[in-house]
């Protein structure tokens, strides 16, 4: 089974071009399955749907929540579909498996006033103040993922059109909108601060460290937390919270869910629909105000 897992991971990397993080996640699932198979003194060809269901049941007992079990189930289905397609198994035992429904937990968000408080607390005149303000403005303006912001490049940013081309999950490219305030903050950083950070080895990444290298995701997380602490915001602040706030505030402002899906780079509208739950209070208030029997 180890050989089959190794071959499958190579397939994900070379033929599918999937990220290292995804490959690692799949490998962890399949290694757990391999350990379970060995403990049952069985082999790969002997696995049927009942055995895979028993494996998932054991994973649940081990503490996996519904979302993690859903991901595990998807990993199994993709793996066994590949085994069957490549003639390593006669039938796909994972095909009948049903993934558990994910928990409908609401995403955390910041109130618009808290976002404003965070942004206005940054003094552009202090060292790296312009850089950090540009980072936070871009997060909130465009709803970028952390990895997308870290990899953002100068040649992909258009000040004239107000867009930036970025590469997201699975190597997919999309165009993200950059608002006026974010463009102003980025322009101030590029004109007055970034040139002092540039070294001979500096790449075209927009955001640089004091050593002239691109900022790591861990460093950007730290910057966001430090700036939130300085602003006196007690809530736990992290980059993805600004992405959630971006989507929620767009929805509250009346933006179409399909547009938000495109701006976020979600492949499936169901991923974006979680934001509709946080908008229920606004809908309730509108109904109560305007419906004759509200």
- Can you give 1-50 as a three-state secondary structure string? CHHHHHHHHHHHHHCCCCCHHHHHHHHHHHHHHHHHHHHCCCCHHHCCHH
Catalytic machinery residues: 145, 169, 240, 243, 266, 275
Looking at residue 215, the DSSP 8-state letter turns out to be: P
Compute the distance between CA of residue 223 and CA of residue 135 in angstroms, rounded to an integer. Answer: 9
Helix runs in 40-179, H state only:
49-61, 66-85, 112-120, 129-142, 146-150
Two tokens at 36? 């379970």
Looking at residue 104, the DSSP 8-state letter turns out to be: -
Two tokens at 40? 């049952």
**DSSP per residue, 157-205:** EETTTTEEEEE-GGG-EEEEE--HHHHHHHHHHHHHTHHHH--TT--SB
Two tokens at 180? 């006026």
């Amino acid at each position: 089974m180890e050989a089959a897992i190794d071959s499958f991971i190579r397939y994900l990397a070379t033929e599918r071009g999937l990220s290292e993080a995804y490959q690692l996640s799949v490998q962890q699932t399949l290694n757990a399955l391999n350990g379970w198979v060995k403990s049952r003194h069985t082999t790969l060809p002997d696995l049927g749907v009942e055995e895979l269901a028993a494996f998932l049941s054991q994973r649940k007992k081990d503490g996996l929540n519904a979302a993690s079990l859903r991901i595990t189930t998807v990993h199994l289905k993709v793996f066994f579909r590949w085994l069957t397609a490549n003639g390593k198994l006669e039938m796909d035992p994972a095909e009948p498996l049903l993934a558990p429904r994910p928990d409908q937990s609401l995403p955390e968000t910041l109130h618009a006033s808290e976002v404003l408080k965070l942004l206005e607390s940054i003094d552009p005149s202090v060292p790296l103040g312009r850089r950090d303000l540009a980072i936070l403005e871009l997060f909130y303006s465009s709803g970028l993922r952390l990895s997308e912001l870290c990899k953002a490049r100068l040649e992909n940013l258009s000040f004239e059109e107000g867009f930036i081309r970025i590469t997201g999950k699975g190597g997919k490219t999309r165009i993200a909108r950059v608002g006026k305030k974010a463009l102003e903050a980025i322009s101030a950083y590029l004109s007055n601060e970034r040139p002092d950070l540039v070294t001979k080895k500096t790449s075209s990444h927009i955001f640089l460290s004091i050593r002239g290298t691109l900022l790591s995701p861990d460093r950007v997380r730290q910057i966001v937390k430090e700036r939130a602490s300085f602003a006196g915001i007690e809530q736990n602040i992290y980059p993805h919270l600004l992405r959630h706030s971006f989507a929620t505030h767009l929805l509250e402002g009346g933006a179409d869910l399909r547009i938000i899906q495109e701006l976020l780079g979600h492949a499936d509208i169901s991923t974006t629909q979680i934001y509709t739950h946080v908008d229920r209070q606004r809908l309730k208030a509108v109904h109560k105000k305007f419906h004759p029997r509200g």
